């Protein structure tokens, strides 16, 4: 966006016109002294410089005033880094996340598709926080380290695929990996959001052991259990209603959250998951004093350079006119 730092200086633009009008008024009232030989020189000069030759002077003055007013090009707002939370997201990629028991935009989708959609919106809202992403199944893997680049974290989540890191569920390893990554960051509010639809059945450390370590390191864990409670499926004898979340260990997830002063949430559908993220936003609010700035590029040197160029050309043109005028004046007899 183009703007002027000091636009009020534009009031100087008509100053030469005011000065010229005042000077002409003084000459009309008081008259002037005519020097011998000068009248002819003025006549010749006027013949060579008609009224339209005054426009370079007006142009130079206009450019100089514009330069003094400091024209600027202001860029888009850039958010400044702020001390927020270190927030790690641990997402289950086990085989059960493929179960299609969720409804999103009136369509039945699998659990992971719903998680991707809702969690991406949550990531976008966490301005000022450092976000990281852990994917876990047979083992836990760091997909994105703690960063303020929310778009990259959301992109990594979008590109993740079920089965990428196995079929089982290593909840303990996911917590331990998050605690390890927190240790490498500066001291801040450390939050882990762990989302799963099953129970721990893999990994080299139990969830309880990992939660104890997290509690000692000041990490708050919010656990989210995903999955519908009732789903219809077709069989040879017709439709039957089953519980697709039988493997979800809610007691364990509740214990993990309590050990670290966190909370356990249950997400049976996309609306509940969205409400959970909104509740986490309230429990762990973002920095409301997020600062930003707009980069500014000075543009005053453009009109200043053009004014100087026109001035030089006028000086050269004036010098040539004076030389021509001198040659046309009558020479005195020696």
Domains of the chain by residue range = 2-75+295-328, 82-283
Beta bridge partners of 240: 233
Residue pair 293/21 in contact (Cβ under 8 Å)? The answer is no
Beta bridge partners of 86: 130, 190
Beta bridge partners of 317: none
pLDDT in tens, the chain (334 residues): 888 888 888 888 888 788 777 766 666 655 444 444 444 444 444 444 444 467 778 888 888 888 888 888 888 776 655 566 889 999 999 999 999 888 888 888 999 999 999 999 999 988 878 899 999 999 999 999 999 899 999 999 999 998 888 889 999 999 999 999 998 766 678 999 999 998 999 888 999 999 999 999 999 999 999 998 877 666 666 676 777 788 899 999 999 999 999 999 999 988 999 999 999 988 888 665 556 667 888 888 888 899 899 888 888 877 776 777 677 766 554 4
Q: Which pLDDT belongs to residue 33?
A: 45
The Cα 206–Cα 238 span in angstroms is: 41
Q: Which pLDDT belongs to residue 34?
A: 47
Beta bridge partners of 202: none
The token pair at 303 is 């009109």
Which of these, 140, 141, 168, 162, lies nearest to 247 by C-alpha position?
168
The Cα 133–Cα 145 span in angstroms is: 7
Q: Which pLDDT belongs to residue 257?
A: 96
The label of the residue with tokens 């002063």 reads 261
Q: What is the CATH number of domain 82-283?
A: 3.40.50.410
Q: Which pLDDT belongs to residue 290?
A: 56
Residue pair 170/203 in contact (Cβ under 8 Å)? The answer is yes
Q: Which pLDDT belongs to residue 42?
A: 45
Largest CA distance in the chain: 134
Strands 71-74 and 264-267: unpaired
Please give the model's pTM, rounded to 2 decimal places: 0.63
The Cα 281–Cα 125 span in angstroms is: 9
The token pair at 26 is 């003084």
What separation in angstroms does the CA of 308 have from each of 59, 126, 315? 11, 51, 10
The Cα 175–Cα 213 span in angstroms is: 9
Half-sphere exposure of 295 (CA within 13 A, CB side): 6
């Amino acid at each position: 966006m183009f703007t002027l730092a000091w636009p009020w200086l534009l009031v100087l633009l008509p100053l030469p016109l005011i000065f010229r009008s005042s000077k002409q008024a003084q000459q009309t009232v008081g008259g002037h002294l005519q020097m011998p030989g000068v009248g002819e020189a003025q006549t010749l000069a006027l013949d060579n410089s008609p009224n339209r030759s005054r426009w370079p002077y007006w142009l130079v003055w206009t450019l100089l005033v514009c330069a003094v007013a400091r024209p600027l090009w202001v860029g888009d707002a850039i958010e400044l880094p702020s001390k927020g939370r270190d927030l790690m997201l641990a997402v289950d990629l086990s085989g059960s996340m493929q179960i299609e028991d969720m409804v999103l935009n009136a369509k039945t989708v699998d659990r992971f598709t719903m998680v991707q959609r809702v969690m991406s919106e949550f990531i976008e809202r966490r301005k000022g926080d450092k976000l990281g992403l852990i994917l876990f199944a047979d083992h836990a893997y760091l997909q994105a380290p703690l960063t303020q680049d929310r778009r990259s974290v959301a992109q990594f989540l979008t590109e993740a695929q079920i089965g990428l890191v196995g079929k089982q569920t290593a909840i303990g390893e996911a917590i331990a990996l998050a605690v390890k990554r927190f240790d490498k960051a500066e001291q801040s509010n450390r939050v882990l959001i762990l989302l799963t639809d099953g129970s721990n059945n893999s990994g080299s450390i139990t969830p309880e052991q990992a939660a104890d370590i997290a509690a000692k390191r000041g990490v708050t864990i919010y656990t989210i259990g995903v999955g519908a409670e009732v789903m219809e499926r077709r069989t040879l004898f017709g439709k039957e209603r089953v519980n697709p979340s039988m493997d979800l260990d809610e007691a364990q997830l509740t214990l993990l959250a309590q050990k670290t002063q966190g909370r356990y949430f249950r997400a049976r559908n996309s609306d509940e998951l969205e409400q959970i993220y909104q509740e986490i936003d309230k429990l762990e609010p973002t920095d409301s004093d997020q600062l930003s700035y707009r980069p500014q590029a000075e543009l005053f040197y453009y009109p200043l350079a053009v004014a100087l160029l026109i001035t030089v050309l006028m000086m050269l043109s004036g010098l040539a006119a004076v030389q021509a005028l001198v040659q046309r004046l009558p020479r005195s007899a020696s």
